[in-house]
Chain A
Amino acid sequence: MADLAVDLAGLSLRNPLILASGIWGESGDSLSGAWDAGAGAVITKSIGSVARPGYPNPTVEPLDPGGMLNAMGLPNPGIDEYPAEIARAREHGVLLIGSVFGGTPEEFGELAGRMAATGVAALELNLSCPHAEGYGTEIGSDPEDVAAVVRAVVRQVRIPVFAKITPNAADLPALARAAEKAGAHGISAINTVRAMAIDPELERPVLAHGLGGLSGPAIKAIGVAAVWQIAEAVRIPVVGVGGIRSATDVIEYLLAGATAVEIGTAVATDGIGIFGRIAADLARALDDRGVRRVGEIVGRARRGFAVPSAEAPTPGRGAISRSP
């Protein structure tokens, strides 16, 4: 049986399947449930300085086919209350990654320190929520801003720090390089893709917030491309996120260069049992390929790959000489 264990920036994961932030992340019991279902690590809901109820409903709209639209508005109980949930999950033995979001580098630094103090094994910085004014993408789209946040955080903590990058920016490799240079230990990509739905009959946006973020199978190809580009640009590990529902999807991300992956929306469509199922399928799929350790296939699609020129003349092009 192939060994699914991975080393992710110094974290020892029993498998590369991580629960994505914002899914089953509000209560310590749910975090524990995801762990029991077989996740290799579990990321908390993104936590801010104060309690936020989030946007009013509708906050979620399932789309056909294969897409999930949401604008939750970063609901969270705040860093004063949330440690109680973490304590509960830690008692249960869960390998936890704490996600935080802030509006300034100082706020990120302060939150990171307090999150690290709860005993989480690593941090993920939400620099990428596409629908919260003053947070996420708004400060995660500029390499300078990303660097400032990462610097403020790594100064405060001694655990691995992952920067979660937005797909809603022009130059993803530049964001990843900025995070790496500022001291991040890994890059998570991607968060949801800015998106919206309008009810054609009522002629109005469906989500209360109007704009939202798309997740699920509809964004998998975007996530794979992001991982591909970022893995090329940095030396720190990349965690692939977006649209994963099967072991085949995981393999695609690993081949693109991801060391581990996160799974979110599939918990809604397939249930929390998705972690156990994918882990079993992945082990079998690796066996079939004769792969003994999951790490062996990381980035393997890059080997020997070169972009062909679209401009050089190719045989058969040019003058058509079919005349008799």
Chain B
Amino acid sequence: MHRIVAIDRRVPETPSTVTWRFRDPTPAAPGQFVMVWVPGDDELPMSLSYTDGETKGVTVKAMGATSRRIQEIPPGTRIGIRGPYGNRFALTPRRLLIVGGGSGTAVLAPGAEALRRDGAEVVGALGATTAAEMLFAERLRSAGARIELATDDGSLGHAGYVTEVADRLLGEPGRFDAVWTCGPEVMMRKVALAARARGVPAFGSVERQMKCALGMCDACALGPYHVCVDGPVFPAETLLGLSEFGRSKRDPSGRLVPV
């Protein structure tokens, strides 16, 4: 059953991302996602970028036509929510590295905040195409995380890929006991390989087409897994073992297409 919530606040985060905050007391954990129904339009899977307390949040990036359109809906709009679905990031690391690419940081932020409140050390390597698109760097800094930035165009932080920053940080032996990553799959693949090379356990949150979100329709099939119930968070070793990871995904008809 979906429930109806009203968007209490609409927060433009970057030119391409908007956060919706809404009152929803249903408990949720970092890493989980909800199915967000914009009445009269689509229903899309969205990771919760705020999981604590009664005011949850999702951060929507303008990707294709649908997300571009629904980003414009004004505060006060009533939307349908079902979930939360999927698994979560285990909140066990004491020295965590998060590697976020673009809007992927939205998935990592609530868990990183929770660990900081718990006294864990959190270092973030965040990447974006350009300075204006950097997401949640201030949010994570004010939670007490040490943040390093990278932009493709060099307008902020390291000029180049965020994986280069992550590589350097991972080069300090024993510095981290876990890595969490979310972003484009080619990026996550590089992070997974770098973490493997240093012997640090890594976890990535992946996206696939979703319809039921209940482990039934097979739309989100990824190898032997269903991202909606077995994921979206997977051990990097699991992801690296899948021929589809970083290479192909299923379109809404079920055809394999390049990621």
Is A10 at the interface (CB under 8 A from chain B)?
no
A324 within 8 A of B: no
Instruction: Give a binary string over A30-73; 1 marks a CB under 8 Å from any B CB, 0 the rest.
Output: 10110000000000010000011110111111111000101010
Choose among A29, A72, A201, A272 the residue that contacts B78 (Cβ–Cβ < 8 A): A201
Question: Quick one: closest A residue to B213, CB to CB?
Answer: A60
* A30, B40: Cα distance in complex, Å: 32
Cβ contact within 8 Å between B253 and A76: yes
Q: Known: A57-B37, A57-B211. Contact between A27 and B250, CB under 8 A?
A: yes
Q: Is the interface of B mostly helix, strand, loop or mixed?
A: loop
Contact assessment for B218 and A70 in the assembled complex, using a CB-CB cutoff below 8 Å:
no
Question: A-B contact count, CB below 8 Å?
Answer: 115
Which of B4, B37, B78, B255 interacts with A58 by CB under 8 Å?
B37
Q: Which of A27, A82, A199 contacts B39 (CB 8 A)?
A: A199
B48: min CB distance to chain A, Å: 18
The residues of A that contact B212 with a CB separation of less than 8 Å are: 59-60, 70, 268
Contact partners of B254 in chain A: CB under 8 A: 26-27, 45, 75-77, 82
- Do the beta carbons of A60 and B214 come within 8 Å of each other? yes
Q: Which residues of A contact B2 (CB under 8 A)?
A: 58, 61, 199, 206
Output the nearest chain A residue to B212 by Cβ-Cβ distance. A60
A77 to B44, CA, bound (A): 21
Say yes or no for A155: interface residue by CB 8 A criterion.
no
Q: Are A78 and B253 in contact (CB under 8 A)?
A: yes
| Interface size range on B against A | 20 to 34
Bound-complex Cα distance A70 to B212 (A): 9
Instruction: Please provide the 5 A-B residue pairs with the shortest distance between their CB atoms, ordered closest to farther.
Output: A57-B43, A26-B218, A53-B252, A268-B216, A27-B221
Which B positions have Cβ atoms within 8 angstroms of A?
A: 1-2, 4, 35, 37, 39-40, 42-44, 78, 80, 82, 210-219, 221, 223-224, 226, 250-255
Can you report 25 A-B residue pairs in the complex whose CB atoms are below 8 A from each other?
A24-B218, A25-B218, A26-B221, A26-B254, A27-B250, A30-B226, A33-B224, A51-B253, A53-B252, A56-B42, A57-B44, A60-B213, A60-B214, A60-B216, A61-B1, A62-B214, A70-B217, A75-B211, A75-B252, A77-B253, A77-B254, A202-B80, A267-B216, A271-B215, A272-B215
